[in-house]
Amino acid sequence: MDWQLLLSSDRMRRSASRNSRVEATDLAVAVARPVSTRSPFQQDADLVVFSAAFRRLQDKTQVQPLSEGGRVRTRLTHSIEVASVGRSLGSAVAHGLRDRRAFDAERCYAVASVIHAACLAHDIGNPPFGHGGEDAIQAWFQTHPQVLRGLTPAQAEDLRAFDGNAQGFRILTQLENYRFDGGLRLTSATLGTFMKYAVQAADRVPGGPAVACRKPGFFTSERQYVEGLRAGLGLDQGLRHPLAYLVEAADDICYAIVDLEDGFDAGLVDFRDAAEVLSAIAGIAEQRGEGRAEHLQKLRGVAIGKLIDAVSAVFLDAEPELLSGGAVDELCASTSFGPLLHEAKALAASQIYTAPSVVERLLLGQRVLSALLDELVAVVDKLEEVAFDRAQLRGRAASVAHLLGEAFQPRTRHAALLAVTDFISALTDRAALALHRSLAGAL
């Protein structure tokens, strides 16, 4: 791999086959615009932040569904925090590469900006109710095999193994802003860094040695975009962009550390247990006279700083191997703090994720999504009966199709099912709950 290609500012545009470089037909428009003081990668971050999909993260589950009062993180606050950690990792790594790879100041800045933009978007494809929502969508398609008739095996597996990472790539390249015309038209560097997993569902190897192949990173419907992206970045099939490892690490750092702070604030995690784990990472003993919440906040801040230093050092050590396409493990696990992070996650799993209040709300969310899929896929069946002529739908099917919006004009069963999962994924937690109640009573 070559950093010059990996930091490409080419943009996804009108079709999967067309490169984002400005062509002759676009040149007059490009010249007429004033030179921007923002880098292309800063523009990427702005495009993500001002997108509707990003705003919806404010009411999507991070760990505790349907939380009240703003005491704990949502997907939105989590994404902002991950982006902050990611930018710090990018800055540290870029300065470490300055002498090794002759990075100038502009390229150093570009690395931090690319990671910042990709981190902002890293959860943009998550459905309502977090990973519980993913599980619900997967389970529904796995238990309704007849719904997948007429699809190719790869298309069917995309739905059976529905994943927020793949949905995120679809949102960024297809659904937001320029719909089915390049999406947000982000730079190649940001899209490549965003793509945490490098295979589609049919090719994944759960638990395999290659971390980039353990989960789906894109759907069959976006395969052409991925192939064009790989060509522009100089990435071989199945390989991650090296900076994707830092996005993964920023996410890992935040949820391993921050979940404990949120768990304590919500009354789910014992203070002593949380303080013991965080103190071991931060290297700070308990301070007399501090409030418990204040002490955990201090531990959280120092622990994240220590992890940023450790992860950036591991990345710099692994960078030659990454550029050659070699196998590299998750960065956080490769630091000296790996066992302590594992302990932090185990504590969260035992005291937060399995807490009755959390489980009950997750089960509610899963029931809601399953019921919505029952309703919406029934419309797909009715639509297929009338040769996908939406104007011929009548009664309840026509009413539910109206909820899917004017853009719901599929011409194949596969496109219709994707439109359903697009709609489901775009719902917030409370919007999903409200729609479920409405369909149960009003239509």
Which CATH number characterizes residue 342's domain? 1.10.3410
Are 87 and 175 members of one domain? yes
pLDDT at 352: 85
- How many domains, the chain? 2
Cα–Cα distances in angstroms (integers) from residue 384 to residues 149, 157, 159, in the given order:
12, 21, 18
The CATH number covering residue 114 comes to: 1.10.3210.10
Residues 248-292: pLDDT tens digits?
999 999 989 998 988 898 888 899 999 999 999 999 876 666 788
Are 229 and 278 members of one domain? no
Q: Is residue 101 part of a domain?
A: yes
Domain closes at, from 352, 385, 417 = 352
Are 190 and 305 members of one domain? no
Grade residue 16 by pLDDT with cuts at 50, 70 and 90.
Answer: very low
Are 113 and 172 members of one domain? yes
pLDDT at 267: 87
Are 111 and 223 members of one domain? yes
Closest by CA position to 190, among listed 11, 315, 3:
11
Domain closes at, from 187, 211, 233 = 233
Are 320 and 203 members of one domain? no
Q: Are 382 and 393 in contact (CB under 8 A)?
A: yes
Are 292 and 346 members of one domain? yes
Q: Is residue 135 part of a domain?
A: no
Q: Is residue 373 part of a domain?
A: no
pLDDT at 427: 95
pLDDT at 246: 97
Own/partner contacts of 407-415, CB < 8 Å, gap of 24 or more, are: 407/179, 410/380, 410/383, 412/388, 413/149, 413/150, 413/151, 413/380, 413/384, 414/150, 414/151, 414/155, 414/221
Grade residue 428 by pLDDT with cuts at 50, 70 and 90.
Answer: very high
Residues 112-154: pLDDT tens digits?
999 999 999 999 999 999 889 999 999 999 999 999 999 999 9
Domain closes at, from 302, 328, 352 = 352
- DSSP state, 218? E
All residues at 6 or more sequence positions from 27 whose CB lies less than 8 Å from its CB, including other chains: none
pLDDT at 86: 97
All residues at 6 or more sequence positions from 92 whose CB lies less than 8 Å from its CB, including other chains: 308, 309, 312
Are 11 and 115 members of one domain? yes
User: Above pLDDT 70, what percent of the chain?
Assistant: 91
Q: Is residue 149 part of a domain?
A: no
Evaluate if residue 20 carries a pLDDT over 50.
Answer: no
Closest by CA position to 276, among listed 253, 295, 291, 249:
295
Q: Is residue 252 part of a domain?
A: no
Q: Model pTM greater than 0.85? A: yes
Strands, E, within 16-115: which ranges? none
pLDDT at 29: 39
Own/partner contacts of 109-112, CB < 8 Å, gap of 24 or more, are: 109/39, 110/7, 110/39, 110/41, 110/189, 111/7, 111/243, 112/87, 112/88
Q: Is residue 346 part of a domain?
A: yes
Q: How far apart are CA 160 and CA 220, in angstroms?
A: 13
Evaluate if residue 69 carries a pLDDT over 80.
Answer: no
Are 211 and 102 members of one domain? yes
Q: Is residue 174 part of a domain?
A: yes
Helix, strand, or coil (residue 61): strand
Strands, E, within 225-351: which ranges? none
Are 77 and 10 members of one domain? yes
Partners of residue 187 on adjacent β-strands: 11
Mean pLDDT computed over 368-393: 95
Helix, strand, or coil (residue 21): coil
Grade residue 25 by pLDDT with cuts at 50, 70 and 90.
Answer: very low
Both ends of the chain: CA-CA distance in Å? 55
Are 53 and 173 members of one domain? yes
Are 219 and 277 members of one domain? no
pLDDT at 47: 97
Domain extent, residue 343, equals: 270-352
Q: Is residue 408 part of a domain?
A: no
Own/partner contacts of 19-22, CB < 8 Å, gap of 24 or more, are: 19/228, 19/232, 20/182, 20/185, 20/187, 20/188, 20/232
Evaluate if residue 305 carries a pLDDT over 90.
Answer: yes
Q: Name the H helices within 10-74.
A: 24-32, 40-49, 52-55
Evaluate if residue 23 carries a pLDDT over 50.
Answer: no
Mean pLDDT computed over 100-117: 90
Q: Are 125 and 425 in contact (CB under 8 A)?
A: yes
Grade residue 388 by pLDDT with cuts at 50, 70 and 90.
Answer: very high
Phi and psi at residue 329, to the nearest 5°: -80, 175
2 C-beta neighbours (distance < 10 Å), count: 10
Q: Are 308 and 253 in contact (CB under 8 A)?
A: yes
